[in-house]
Amino acid sequence: MKRYSAFAIAREALRHHEGWERAWRSPEPKARYDVVIVGAGGHGLATAYWLGKNHGITNIAVIEKGWLGGGNTGRNTTIIRSNYLQDPSAAIYEKSRSLYETMSQDLNYNVMFSPRGVMMLAQTQHEVRGYRRTAHANALQGVATEFISPQRVKELCPIMNIDGPRYPVLGALWQPRGGTARHDAVAWGYARACSDMGMDIIQKCEVTGIRREGGKVTAVETTKGEIGCGKLGIVVAGHSGELAEMAGFRLPIESVSLQALVSEPIKPCMDVVVMANTVHGYMSQSDKGEMVIGGGADGFNNYTQRGSFHHIEETVRALVETFPMISRLKMLRQWGGIVDMTGDRSPILSKTPVEGVFVNCGWGTGGFKAIPGSGWAMAELMAKGHAPLADAFSLDRFREGRFIDESVAAGVAH
């Protein structure tokens, strides 16, 4: 597996400094755009990029109340996988995973994609049955996964204790082409590509209202003035409900904090991503040597982006039995992100009751892995009014009872 030193990362950043600076500076907004996208995170920028590349629409403004990639795109744990059970989920996540493989070449920006492999541990007989079922479903969907033995798990991750007294490892669902990427680089790469196509990325520009006439969107009101638009894309994760209310409709989502932490850097000891859903924890090692650790979302609605002491205890306690070595590590830093959860734990990519307004939200704990596929589908939906990858994820499914239940796949396993 290819690794990058801190010097190589810094050199790569400097190499792209000029283009990144061009994307980082915020122009003054024009009076009107064909498309306005709210949210300059990975999903919003990917939507703008594919609108330009696939559909030739470049009169676009991407507006952001904070800074480029400062929301969940810069706060996640960078896991990329597509081993979902339901067909619509597997389709969009596998599209996304395949786009990650060529993203550095497509954007001419190194996003440091590392297909190191992702394993989801089966630590109960119920999980063994569930993951075998998922492996069979993935085979039908064309997603390369397999259920592997405890011995194979130990070979792939020697630091793991597979004979824990409470939750021994009984096997794992293994996706060898899953992995990680550098989250900031994904946002910067898309931003530079959008800027090169003539799009405006406007930071420190908060939406304060959405104007409508005759049931159709006409403009967004912002802290930098009114911006006219023909179409509006709401791509703001945990704040989607707030913008939907401005537009006059409600979304079936709730916002909670998802926390993560990293240890002090240590020598390479783990070159795969491991998720243990039974104990609510997952871990990988970054290119800098930090152990990246996360768990389940908070059990109550909130908008905090900070960490908490109880999360450290709950998550690390869960992982210490399976990874005894981490008990001796010191925590380096901790943070949180605001995730938007739907009832079936599947996203929403949909038209809305307001003509010209489209929404992309509800990715919950698994948004980073979906960025390129989400942008591809959302761009097609906005350009053509319908997209094969997005059709199953419309708002209509909640009224019609067509739920895409991924509560097991997405509840903890990011």
Q: What is the pTM for the complete model shown?
A: 0.91
Q: pLDDT tens digit string along 88-134?
A: 999 999 999 999 999 999 999 999 999 999 999 999 999 999 999 99
Lowest mean pLDDT among 13-17, 177-181, 331-335: 13-17
How distant is the alpha carbon of residue 61 from its chain centre?
22
Give the pLDDT band of residue 224 (cuts 50, 70, 90): very high
Q: Are 339 and 255 in contact (CB under 8 A)?
A: yes
Mean pLDDT, range 391-405, rounded to an integer: 94
pLDDT of residue 302: 83
Distance (Å, rounded) from C-alpha 407 to C-alpha 394? 18
pLDDT of residue 134: 96
Distance (Å, rounded) from C-alpha 389 to C-alpha 406? 16
Q: pLDDT tens digit string along 246-261?
A: 999 999 999 999 999 9
Domain 113-179+254-342 in this protein, CATH class = alpha beta
Q: pLDDT tens digit string along 265-312?
A: 999 999 999 999 888 899 999 999 999 999 888 888 888 888 788 888
pLDDT of residue 25: 60
Closest CA to 16 of 180, 184, 187, 192: 192
Give the pLDDT band of residue 20 (cuts 50, 70, 90): very low
Domain residue extents for the chain? 22-78+183-252+344-410, 113-179+254-342
pLDDT of residue 3: 53
Distance (Å, rounded) from C-alpha 6 to C-alpha 291? 16
Is residue 234 scored above 70 in pLDDT? Answer: yes
307 burial type by CB count under 10 A (0-12 exposed, 13-18 middle, 19+ buried): middle
Mean pLDDT, range 74-92, rounded to an integer: 95
Is residue 9 scored above 80 in pLDDT? Answer: no
Q: Are 255 and 241 in contact (CB under 8 A)?
A: yes
Distance (Å, rounded) from C-alpha 187 to C-alpha 209? 26
Q: Are 199 and 35 in contact (CB under 8 A)?
A: no
**Contacts (Cβ under 8 Å, ≥6 apart) of 348:** 251, 253, 342, 359, 360, 361, 362, 393, 394, 395
Is residue 153 scored above 50 in pLDDT? Answer: yes
Report the chain's mean pLDDT, rounded to a whole number. 91
Is residue 219 scored above 50 in pLDDT? Answer: yes
pLDDT of residue 279: 85
Residue ranges in 309-362 assigned as alpha helix (H): 309-320
Mean pLDDT, range 203-218, rounded to an integer: 96
Closest CA to 258 of 103, 408, 366: 366
pLDDT of residue 7: 47
pLDDT of residue 413: 46
Q: pLDDT tens digit string along 37-71?
A: 999 999 999 999 999 999 999 999 999 999 999 99
Q: What are the C-alpha distances in Å from 27 to residues 124, 195, 371?
A: 54, 11, 25
Distance (Å, rounded) from C-alpha 182 to C-alpha 403? 32
Lowest mean pLDDT among 100-104, 251-255, 317-321, 344-348: 317-321
Distance (Å, rounded) from C-alpha 207 to C-alpha 38? 8
**Contacts (Cβ under 8 Å, ≥6 apart) of 129:** none
More confident residue, 307 or 400: 400
Return the CATH architecture of domain 22-78+183-252+344-410: 3-Layer(bba) Sandwich (3.50)
pLDDT of residue 296: 81
pLDDT of residue 10: 47
Distance (Å, rounded) from C-alpha 347 to C-alpha 360? 7
3-state secondary structure of 131: helix
